Structure 1
Amino acid sequence: MDGAFRVNPYLQNPSAESMTITWFTTTSDPGELEVRGPGLRGGAEFTTQPTHETALTYTEAELTQEIAGLEPGSWLHEGENYKHTVDVTGLLPGKHYTYRVRAGDATYRAHFTTAPSADRWNKVRFVALSDSETEPRGRVQRREWAPGALADGSRSRPSVEPGSLWDETFGTTVLSGVRTLRYMLTEDEGYRENLKVISERDPDFVMMPGDLVQGGGYQPAWDEFFRHNAGESGSGLSYRPILPAIGNWENFGALNGGYGTPDDRSPVVRGREKYHTYFDSPDNGTAAHRDNYYRVDYGPVTVITLDSSNGEPDDAPGNYPDDAKATGQEYRGPGSDTQNNYTRAEYEAAGGTDLADFNRGSVQWQWAEEQLADAREQGRIVFVQFHHSAYSSGEHGLPMYHELTSGQGGTPMRQYHELFEAYGVTAVLSGHSEMFERSFVDSDGDGVGVQYYDVGVAGDGLRGDRRNGASLNDPLLKYNPYSQWTADQSEPERWESVDGVLQLVEGGKHYGHLEVDVERLRDGARVTLTPVYVFPVLNTDYELERTERREYGDAVTLELDADGRVRG
């Protein structure tokens, strides 16, 4: 990344006629953007007057933070944060454009392709991944690797005993009362390798349904996110646009006060303010909710993004006496709230104005129904994303009233299924439980339902199915009756002795993403949803030789009719 660029140019809001290009510099000097391509006779030139984004200034806690294994302050940037944004219009559908950005003495060059028109297209490819949760600590941190299913005939996992080869190379830790392996890659390595695989597949855009950073109110987390996506480690978002959603971590201040206290929820306000600073989404008709939820049309595809952060009435596990809480697989309904970390009243008392309730009858709900109806009338292929997975077998799959709830369950978002099925949504993409899972819900039993994915394996935790108790030795809870596949249980690990060293040769939980291919047919379209993982290949000393793109065995192919609905 050139010195004057705090964040390299990155793309947002793709359409057939326009693209938003945003970048950040360390000084207040005007920026220059030049775009060349079809329809821009002689090219288009823009001069920016940047805005000083004080919301991105380091706090004293960030400036003095120490992270074991890293040189103090080595992850911090010099200079301020000045934002440059240009909405480039007058472009032509499905065309290739080059652009050049000048910032002081630095120049950055890249290119992009506009969306095809809705009536002239052949193929659209996009990827979805969630829970990257970037932070500087991720450069040295290897996450706990909870054991999943073992393949028939497989050797057992390597020894977790102190002093074993795995322990000395990657480490071991205690998770839910059981000592287990740490993963082979650091969070930083896992996310970086994941993004490399994505870039090699050259998708048209990237969906990220929440938890982009390990604390929306923690500036170094955002620095790490853009180091991977528009910076020195990688700059894929300079070439393909991002469609983000707000996750629970975007509401969190990390070392700057966490979620705050009932008397001071300013860390939550600051976290969301940083999100709004970095992302400028299409207008949704409610100024206070700008960026929270929005719609993007890309060729024949419509992506509807929702904000699942706040439900009303506010709820918390403490509202249910211990002797009245649900146990086991008991389900009494979705509930109203996905978090017990703050209330609307507390948030607004701290100066926040942008919370958007997601429940029935809310402004967001009404907007979503309007967009679904409009997209269906146009015969579009509809995908929805939001962070809190409505159907999950994982850590956050339980409602607020369950004895094992995390207090951040996604079940309240099940309220939307009726709309999704009625309006022919193809798939819903979420994260949150930091696992890879597919569920299928067909409430009217006609064989045509909605595919739901948890794609929370971008680069942070690698969790498995929830246990019915506090220990990894407890049996699986199996709370989600709609689950069709999880990487944890459906892709068993196979361990073999290779040259005298125990190695994983296939299967298991790894960092990855969902690849979605939409192909035009004579009388409709074909959608293929492929779960992809990044497999580490080690030598006999447990040193990383390479990573490989591999596909899990749960690719789903759907045939859609000319109206954009999945065929029965």
Structure 2
Amino acid sequence: MRKRKTAYAAVALITGLLPIGVLGSPAAAAQPQSEFRILPYLQSPSSSGVTLTWFTEDGRPGRLTVLGPGIGRPRTYEVAGDLRPELAYTDRELAQEIPGLDKGSWLRGQENHKHTIRIDDLRPGSRYHYTVEQGGVPHRGTFRTAPAKNHWKHIRLIAMSDSETEPLGRLQRREWAPGALATGSTGRPSAAPGSLWDRTYGTTTLLSSPVLRYPLTEDEGLRVNLATVEERAPDAVLFTGDLVQGGGYQPGWDEFFRHTAGASGSLLTNIPILPAFGNWESFGALNGGYGTPQDRTPVVRSRAKYHAYFDAPDNGTPEHRDNYYRVDYGPVTVLTLDSNNGEPDDRAAAYPPSVKLTGRQYTGPGTDTQENFTRAEYEAAGGRDLSAFNPGSRQWTWAEEQLRAARAAGQIVLVQFHHAPYSSGEHGLPMNHALTSGQGGTPMRIYHDLFERYGVAAVLSGHSEMFERSFVDADGDGVGVHYYDVGVSGDGLRGVRRDGSTLDSPPLNYNGFSQWTADQSEPEMWENAGGTPQLTSGGKHYGHLEIDIDRGKRGQAQLTLTPVHIFPVLDADLRVVRTERRTYSDRTVIGVAADGTPDKQ
């Protein structure tokens, strides 16, 4: 039976350093883990099976046992470990010091052995139990196969992005961009040096103005977010990129799996992940960033780590494996695209000041989502896996083929990729705009006509670290596509882009398709408690998008997309006493016809 929680159900009590038993997964905390570098995690679900992967440090074969419908006697597999040298720590990582943490306390063993197996020939819509035993230490989990297309009642997916894990996240509280204030609100607490908030959580400067730091660290925010997701028992979790704070930074990957298949949580032990490549997955962080035009090996090494951890379904182009892929979960098709390599390559410096756009001027989406490296530079460093997304590319052709096939099969179609095409945030402007970040998502707008033509219900992205919904109906027939930025997993808490250089400047409103943002549409209500302002509702917080698909009559269905946030409840001394799962007001319901196409909105 799926767990159901009220919108204001308390999910965690926060005290001190948030013990694992409180905010982590109780199941993970209770499981022996000494023989596992990464606990078993699930990928590539289908109606007949799933892929199971885990990592060890010594590489000894593990024993997998699977029990469930149609199996009869337990199936047992011996799964050998494959050494993945690309996941070893670099000298810089071994020597790194992080003020506030004991040196090297976040490091594991130097060797990473990958154990992976496809479990197939299973029954649709069925629950299976498994045990992985390594060196006499067992770890138990469960999984459910996807339902048959015509035999299902309810499916729940979770979409989230921009967790950007790193050891520093255990200490770091991000700047909390101020949003709209509710009528009658007293306003935020003082962000002045020495104020109560400054003494408790710290403050910083944003656009030359003092702002509050968020009351949860990145680590705490992600932990509570994932624990809340796990309580909702979804069928799969879509991570739309920027999983780690640098794909080439091994401690970042250690942190990601510590949260999702390790000491702090085991969500992915029982729920499959569908990941997408983000821009941070190409970044070397401590190990050279994006490198230089003469040497892009940091980018090559970064992307190699992503490929080592994830094994997506085949897309017909071996060198593009894992970049883009299709998963059918019963009546739902999820297409994952790679938005990281637009061609022709472009950069902001190619546009002299005299031709740069200003304000809300727009002359087209542009061709490239990043100015950090070119295909030629990447391939000169030995990389062979870049997949352009523009018309005529292999990915574009593949995407159109999959959309056409999914529509012919009557599927409900969702698409995910990292760079949000329609965004009111930091990365919402094209390369030729004076305020561009050099990583704008507008080039991905070229897919909209395909999405609308083939009846895509929603597109899920991140990147701008917004919580935003846009709606685009190019032909004006009332049937369009909902676009989400769900970049609020556990890292930045940005607000809308301003039309000026200060926080007092009005929103730029560059994204004319925006329907809702957490920071502007959910005003903060602060009320005095003993002379201290306390937040009682509203505001932008860490969270995720919950997607419920319910079967109706005569083959029809209904999608309900609910933006969820993790609300920190403060006492009169501004201390966090608990967190609550709350839902924002922008609950979107999409009717779906028997052929899988969305109804008029």
Q: Give the TM-score, by structure 1 length.
A: 0.99
Name the CA distance, whole Å, in 2 between partners of 1:541 and 1:8: 39
* Structure 2 equivalent of residue 262 of structure 1: 293
Task: Provide Cα deviations, 1:75-126, integer angstroms capped at 9, x if missing partner.
Answer: 0002410000010011101111000001113210011111100010000001
Alignment of 1:261-300 (within 5 A): 261-300=292-331
* Structure 2 equivalent of residue 546 of structure 1: 578
Are the aligned partners of 1:15 and 1:296 in contact in 2 as well (CA < 8 Å)?
yes
1:29 aligns with 2:29: no
Are the aligned partners of 1:21 and 1:85 in contact in 2 as well (CA < 8 Å)?
yes
* Structure 1 equivalent of residue 236 of structure 2: 205
- Decide which of 76, 79, 84 is 2:107's aligned counterpart: 76
* Structure 2 equivalent of residue 520 of structure 1: 551
Name the CA distance, whole Å, in 2 between partners of 1:61 and 1:542: 38
* Structure 1 equivalent of residue 337 of structure 2: 306
1:422 aligns with 2:483: no
SS in 2 for 1:158: coil
Are the aligned partners of 1:528 and 1:556 in contact in 2 as well (CA < 8 Å)?
yes
* Structure 2 equivalent of residue 241 of structure 1: 272
Alignment of 1:129-528 (within 5 A): 129-523=160-554, 524-528=556-560
Q: Which amino acid aligns with 1:426?
A: A
Task: Provide Cα deviations, 1:414-449, integer angstroms capped at 9, x if missing partner.
Answer: 000000000000000000000100000000001110
Name the CA distance, whole Å, in 2 between partners of 1:475 and 1:501: 28
SS in 2 for 1:255: helix
SS in 1 for 2:301: helix
Are the aligned partners of 2:82 and 2:114 in contact in 1 as well (CA < 8 Å)?
yes
* Structure 2 equivalent of residue 4 of structure 1: 35
Task: Provide Cα deviations, 1:46-80, integer angstroms capped at 9, x if missing partner.
Answer: 11121100000000110011111111111000241
Name the CA distance, whole Å, in 2 between partners of 1:470 and 1:379: 49
Name the CA distance, whole Å, in 1 between partners of 2:64 and 2:295: 41
Name the CA distance, whole Å, in 2 between partners of 1:18 and 1:212: 25
> 5+ residue gaps in structure 1?
none
Are the aligned partners of 1:39 and 1:90 in contact in 2 as well (CA < 8 Å)?
no
- Decide which of 148, 151, 157 is 1:117's aligned counterpart: 148
Name the CA distance, whole Å, in 2 between partners of 1:401 and 1:169: 42
Q: Which amino acid aligns with 2:85?
A: T
Are the aligned partners of 1:57 and 1:80 in contact in 2 as well (CA < 8 Å)?
yes
Are the aligned partners of 2:162 and 2:489 in contact in 1 as well (CA < 8 Å)?
yes
1:564 aligns with 2:586: no
User: How far has the Cα of 1:498 moved from its partner?
Assistant: 2.2
User: How far has the Cα of 1:541 moved from its partner?
Assistant: 2.2
SS in 2 for 1:346: helix
SS in 1 for 2:417: strand
Name the CA distance, whole Å, in 2 between partners of 1:441 and 1:410: 15
Name the CA distance, whole Å, in 2 between partners of 1:104 and 1:334: 54
Q: Which amino acid aligns with 1:543?
A: R
Once superposed, what is the RMSD of the aligned Cα atoms?
A: 0.7
Are the aligned partners of 2:88 and 2:110 in contact in 1 as well (CA < 8 Å)?
no
Name the CA distance, whole Å, in 1 between partners of 2:323 and 2:470: 25
Name the CA distance, whole Å, in 2 between partners of 1:39 and 1:84: 25
Are the aligned partners of 1:246 and 1:387 in contact in 2 as well (CA < 8 Å)?
yes
Q: Which amino acid aligns with 2:587?
A: A
Q: State, as a whole percentage, how many aligned pairs show the same letter.
A: 64
Task: Provide Cα deviations, 1:471-510, integer angstroms capped at 9, x if missing partner.
Answer: 3232211000000000010000000012442100000010
Are the aligned partners of 1:125 and 1:204 in contact in 2 as well (CA < 8 Å)?
yes
1:92 aligns with 2:92: no
User: How far has the Cα of 1:177 moved from its partner?
Assistant: 1.4
Q: Which amino acid aligns with 2:579?
A: T
User: How far has the Cα of 1:364 moved from its partner?
Assistant: 0.1
Are the aligned partners of 1:404 and 1:469 in contact in 2 as well (CA < 8 Å)?
no
Name the CA distance, whole Å, in 1 between partners of 2:46 and 2:63: 22
Are the aligned partners of 2:429 and 2:510 in contact in 1 as well (CA < 8 Å)?
yes
User: How far has the Cα of 1:21 moved from its partner?
Assistant: 0.3
User: How far has the Cα of 1:158 moved from its partner?
Assistant: 0.3
1:16 aligns with 2:47: yes
Are the aligned partners of 2:89 and 2:110 in contact in 1 as well (CA < 8 Å)?
no
Q: Which amino acid aligns with 1:554?
A: D
Name the CA distance, whole Å, in 1 between partners of 2:41 and 2:440: 32
Name the CA distance, whole Å, in 2 between partners of 1:40 and 1:352: 43
Name the CA distance, whole Å, in 2 between partners of 1:203 and 1:503: 33
Q: Give the TM-score, by structure 2 length.
A: 0.94
Q: Which amino acid aligns with 1:532?
A: V
Name the CA distance, whole Å, in 2 between partners of 1:53 and 1:540: 51
How many residues get paired? 568
